Structure 1
Amino acid sequence: MLSTRAAAEAGRYRTSRTPYMREIMDDLSPASPVERVVLMKAAQTGATEAGNNFIGYVIHQAPGPILAVQPTVELAKRNSQQRIDPLIEESAELRRLVVPARSRDSGNTVLAKRFPGGQLVLTGANSATGLRSM
């Protein structure tokens, strides 16, 4: 789901807009025999959104631990607030699975999102503590 807060074209994600990302997202599926996906890409090509789609997929369809690493902790916080939070808030299924950080006992913060069967941890490559958290 593309958020009205995060995308110029909000609504359901359509690979027809970025057909070159379809194979990459298929390879991220647990059903794929591919064991490692590496991207070398230009800026603003849809890779971050594909990664966010994968996060939503894991939360909803294949629960487990997720470690999302940005270059810095500040960028991880920004990605969480500007991309991940809207993704969760604007998807009924994800909203049902991820308890809002506002709930006293949710265990959720800007950099950690718990859901049944797993947890998303966002951190920066510049944080040794964050990288050890999984």
Structure 2
Amino acid sequence: MIPDNLNNIYAKALAPSHKVNPAKWTYERLSKYINDFESSLDNDHEIGARLVSFGQAITFHIEDIGYYGPDIISFDGRNEAGEKVQLIQHISQLSVLLVAVQKQQEQPRRIGFRLKASSSD
């Protein structure tokens, strides 16, 4: 049997915090996934995303991600033609396939370390 004072501690620890911003929480998880994914890439590839919508697949190079709380995640990048793109997505609809894409410049872009640093603010 768990003493009442420990039950109170567990209840407080497990209770959802009203201060948690779902978009920030999602951004932080995405940052970790991106960092982990990038650590497996060779020097000829960088991180990209493939989205399937309206029967069409779109692949783009991810340059940055962001959030606008409490429920919006954004992806900024460039498509294969080098054109600037931005995906704005509600967190309840989020589904992004991370893919390795050929780098667009001499050095592959790595954003995971930058995202990880900014999410710890």
Indicate the TM-score class for this superposition, using the shorter chain for normalisation. Answer: under 0.3
Q: Larger RCO: Structure 1 or Structure 2 (Cα < 8 Å, ≥ 6 residues apart)?
A: 2
Query: TM-score when scaled to structure 1?
Result: 0.26
Q: Which has the higher helix share?
A: 1
Query: TM-score when scaled to structure 2?
Result: 0.28
